[in-house]
Structure 1
């Protein structure tokens, strides 16, 4: 049913690009609009582990699984828990070779892999959505800040936490979880820091604070100093001593080895964590839908990108197989919303439990 159907995807992250690749493989006319001016305009974020039954399944449908397997970091699947006062390893989970089914890939590499499968000019940079001129019985007009207008039969909102497409389906907005991550990078970690971080992800929890290190490509380590703090309290500390200095000082009572990690990064970047409600959903509206964080923003508990890519592949296949596009949208939306509602309560509660200041 791809004949003459025009699809606009707002958002050029893993979800939007995955949907575009699969739809294009089935003959759809697809354009992806990304608000960033270039690929280098924003930090790509940390490493991603793709699960066999979700992220990898989506790549299989996109015809990219073998390429992913060949470039992924299969060695970085370990995880460990460190005592925040002593730095001792309390849990060290080594993944046996036969069970290493969640290989890691840097976000930028994943995007490049997906982009390599798209026709030239499919992804349009510097297109920040201004508004949607919604058509009841005909194509919808997407109006961008750069002055361009684009007509599409179907609009897919893959535009993340603060989705502008979502507002045409619901007034519900994400709320602050009470927790903020401060992201820093160690480009050239010492042997001691490498031994702390291990081959994968290391966690340490100390009441209302946490420290997470994540191995990335090229030997780099991403550090997340996470704190349960009100925004105004954070603002006051930053105004008083500066963001990076305050973050480092906040770990002065932690183990010396973990302080070494906190102090070894470049400047930290503030990333408050938001979430949609656990029962979030929207009423169907012809020709417009959501996937990924736009559809079910939740705290970072290790499933976000996998769920987003699975949304994308399920939606794309539903459109390919449906007798009418609206039937495809409705069946995919039902699946996407039900799946998210099953996962979000535990994701939200579990994330809050990590920062129980009575722990």
Structure 2
């Protein structure tokens, strides 16, 4: 059984690692030239029921604990005047919640757990064609090709493999502008103190200025705005961004001014909630390729859990991969549908005129409801 995984992100690498633990070989085809070809983004919080569960199945829970930062779970929410609305502090040193880990550290952890020849770098998939006798012929940029019996699309939002299963279209949900601040403790101690060891959200009307601390001491700044038709170039100017936050506390807008390089904007898109496809032999999807959601904390976690569940199904029934894929898909559709709905609601809430009040209610624990006392009269 020749298994090809298109995409060497967290989902594809988790799948390859768990299959390897079960003695099943797979090849990961990755478009990047090397693991260090580009920055991997900020940090993410791994949920016990999904991302951490997948790492346990991969035999990497111990290494995760050595790399993760439980203090990164600290979360502060401010209004445009700099007033603290919510301040969540995790228990010191506790891994019971959702500890943060840099995406680059997590990806390196997975890469280091695989045989050296598992990942074929600089293999950008451009087409996958069903073969008459089953399986697929894969064509890569530059003309290289390869064959496989089972094809798993872990190739993200713009998945090439997805087009073989569904014609679902992506819809814009937001515009995200990112900046980075290096060596914040030394170069910008005031900003380092403002952000703290975890995440900071400054919530206004239809816009959020966020920042998160990274393991290397840097800060990743993200500006979330409602989706519009304006050209992305308008967001490449710090001056234009500062104008959008005119009137905000200068301590907050200093996060924009301190960026080391020009802002990097991109459209944030999502697939229609409840997207499914009819099962086809020898092919399936995991992660963003299967269920691209707004970025509110579930994407990487669900991708890794997809990988764990697909690997378990293939390991349980290696003689009948089609049955294994069908089992995985039905469970995945059922699991991810309510999570995608929740993610869409949270995204809409975060970029609304009443976002501050809504987010405070969302993050404020509700007291338990008292049961009515029985009438003893």
Task: Name the TM-score, length of structure 1 as normaliser.
Answer: 0.93
Partner of 1:205 in structure 2?
A: 203
Distance in 1 (alpha carbons) for counterparts of 2:133 and 2:309: 25
Q: Residue 148 of structure 1: CA displacement? A: 1.5
Distance in 2 (alpha carbons) for counterparts of 1:349 and 1:358: 13
Partner of 1:264 in structure 2?
A: 258
Q: Is the 8 A contact 1:126 1:146 kept in 2?
A: no
Q: Residue 244 of structure 1: CA displacement? A: 3.1
Among candidates 160, 165, 169, match of residue 165 of structure 2: 169
Q: Residue 358 of structure 1: CA displacement? A: 5.3
Among candidates 121, 133, 139, match of residue 129 of structure 2: 133
Q: Residue 211 of structure 1: CA displacement? A: 0.8
Note if 1:300 corresponds to 2:300. no
Counterpart secondary structure, 1:9: strand
Note if 1:249 corresponds to 2:243. yes
Distance in 2 (alpha carbons) for counterparts of 1:257 and 1:136: 63
Q: Residue 263 of structure 1: CA displacement? A: 1.2
Q: Larger Rg: 1 or 2?
A: 2
Judged with a 3 Å threshold, the aligned counterparts in structure 2 of structure 1 residues 229 and 101 are, in CA distance, closer, same or farther, namely: closer
Q: Is the 8 A contact 1:8 1:33 kept in 2?
A: yes
Note if 1:66 corresponds to 2:40. no
Q: Residue 79 of structure 1: CA displacement? A: 0.5
Higher mean C-alpha deviation, range 256-265 or range 246-255: 246-255
Partner of 2:19 in structure 1?
A: 23
Among candidates 281, 285, 288, match of residue 280 of structure 2: 285
Partner of 2:338 in structure 1?
A: 342
Partner of 2:5 in structure 1?
A: 9
Q: Residue 335 of structure 1: CA displacement? A: 1.2
Distance in 1 (alpha carbons) for counterparts of 2:302 and 2:168: 20
Distance in 1 (alpha carbons) for counterparts of 2:241 and 2:266: 13
Counterpart secondary structure, 2:201: strand
Higher mean C-alpha deviation, range 95-104 or range 281-290: 95-104
Within a 5 Å distance, the mapping from 1:99-118 to structure 2 comes to: 100-118=96-114
Q: Residue 143 of structure 1: CA displacement? A: 1.0
Note if 1:187 corresponds to 2:182. yes
Q: Is the 8 A contact 1:203 1:211 kept in 2?
A: yes
Q: Count how many residue pairs are aligned between Structure 1 and Structure 2.
A: 349
Distance in 1 (alpha carbons) for counterparts of 2:106 and 2:95: 22
Q: Deviations over 1:245-284 (max 9, x none)?
A: 3223221221111011121112211121100011111111
Judged with a 3 Å threshold, the aligned counterparts in structure 2 of structure 1 residues 229 and 166 are, in CA distance, closer, same or farther, namely: closer
Q: Residue 227 of structure 1: CA displacement? A: 1.2
Among candidates 310, 313, 321, match of residue 318 of structure 1: 313
Distance in 2 (alpha carbons) for counterparts of 1:357 and 1:75: 31
Partner of 1:83 in structure 2?
A: 79
Q: Deviations over 1:310-341 (max 9, x none)?
A: 00000000000025111100010111111111
Judged with a 3 Å threshold, the aligned counterparts in structure 2 of structure 1 residues 100 and 254 are, in CA distance, closer, same or farther, namely: farther
Distance in 1 (alpha carbons) for counterparts of 2:351 and 2:9: 29
Among candidates 43, 47, 50, match of residue 47 of structure 1: 43
Among candidates 196, 212, 230, match of residue 214 of structure 1: 212
Q: Is the 8 A contact 2:31 2:123 kept in 1?
A: yes
Distance in 1 (alpha carbons) for counterparts of 2:263 and 2:320: 49
Q: Is the 8 A contact 2:70 2:95 kept in 1?
A: no
Q: Is the 8 A contact 1:14 1:305 kept in 2?
A: yes
Superposition RMSD on alpha carbons, in Å?
1.5
Greater than 3 Å deviation, 4+ residue runs: 97-100
Q: Is the 8 A contact 1:77 1:100 kept in 2?
A: no
Distance in 1 (alpha carbons) for counterparts of 2:56 and 2:232: 43
Q: Is the 8 A contact 2:181 2:258 kept in 1?
A: yes
Q: Deviations over 1:151-184 (max 9, x none)?
A: 111000000001000000011121111x111010
Judged with a 3 Å threshold, the aligned counterparts in structure 2 of structure 1 residues 260 and 45 are, in CA distance, closer, same or farther, namely: same
Q: Is the 8 A contact 2:70 2:90 kept in 1?
A: no
